[in-house]
Amino acid sequence: MYVLEEFNLGYIAHPKTASSATSRIVRDTLGAKTIGTHHAVDDELCRRILETGGRVMATIRNPFDLMVSWYFHYAHRRPDKVMEPFKEWLPNQIAKPNQYLIQGMFFGLQWANCILRFEYLQEDFDRLCDEVGLPRTIIEPFNISVKREGRTYQEMYDSELRRLIQENFADELAAGDYSFEEIA
């Protein structure tokens, strides 16, 4: 988690939501302090920020797309190992979740009063900067999965996998008003 004390602003960085690119701006350009680790939430700090009229921002992403990104992230980290097909990987991730999924895909979101959507990250960030008096800063893409090679998330899902996401991440889908968007 990050905090810009001068602006009474906190940032909760969720995995696979452009959190590395966003935190580089918040920390390195705007001077935020790191509190704990990158993917951490300090409940007491969030409470204090909100009680004093501040903002807590968090980055989120469509869970359908996020899980595809995670899949290719793992494939990239294990170049010497053949990844199982997404159709097998996704149910396994849900059955035996990693540390982030155990605590909730968007852990700490109950504190966020400013949501930055991955799909509209620059637009949402610019609006926040204007609201709190921060200088607008371009968020440059960083840490992009090259193994995905332009594939859309829609081509990775069948009806069963869609159902798994809808059932297991209903709150996350609702948080961003997300759905499975059909390709025309």
| pLDDT tens by residue, 97-148 | 888 788 888 999 999 999 999 999 999 999 999 999 999 999 998 766 666 7
CATH assignment at residue 46: 3.40.50.300
Domain annotation covers residue 91: yes
| Domain encompassing residue 8 | 2-175
Task: Give the model's pLDDT for residue 47.
Answer: 98
Task: Give the model's pLDDT for residue 80.
Answer: 67
Q: Is the pLDDT of residue 182 over 80?
A: no
DSSP assignment of the chain: -EEEGGGTEEEE--TTSSHHHHHIIIIIIT-PEE-S-TT---HHHHHHHHHTT-EEEEEE--HHHHHHHHHHHHHHH-TTSPPPPHHHHHHHHHHS--HHHHH-TTTTGGG-SEEEEGGGHHHHHHHHHHHHTPPP------S--STTTT--GGGG--HHHHHHHHHHSHHHHHHTT---PPP-
Count Cα atoms within 13 angstroms, Cβ side, for 101: 16
pLDDT in tens, 23-59: 999 999 999 999 999 999 999 999 999 999 999 999 9
116: CB partners within 8 A, 6+ apart: 22, 57, 58, 59, 60, 124, 125, 128
Higher pLDDT, 142 or 152: 152
Q: Is the pLDDT of residue 16 over 60?
A: yes
Domain annotation covers residue 92: yes
Domain annotation covers residue 158: yes
Q: Is the pLDDT of residue 81 over 90?
A: no
The strand pairing partners of 33, in sequence order, are 3
Task: Give the model's pLDDT for residue 78.
Answer: 67
Domain annotation covers residue 133: yes
Domain annotation covers residue 15: yes
CA distance 156 to 90: 10
The strand pairing partners of 167, in sequence order, are none
Q: How many domains does the chain have?
A: 1
Domain annotation covers residue 90: yes
Task: Give the model's pLDDT for residue 79.
Answer: 63
Domain annotation covers residue 151: yes
Q: Is the pLDDT of residue 4 over 80?
A: yes
pTM of the model: 0.90
Domain annotation covers residue 182: no
Residue 2: pLDDT band with limits 50, 70, 90: very high
Tell me what the mean pLDDT of segment 143-169 comes to: 87
CA distance 28 to 163: 40
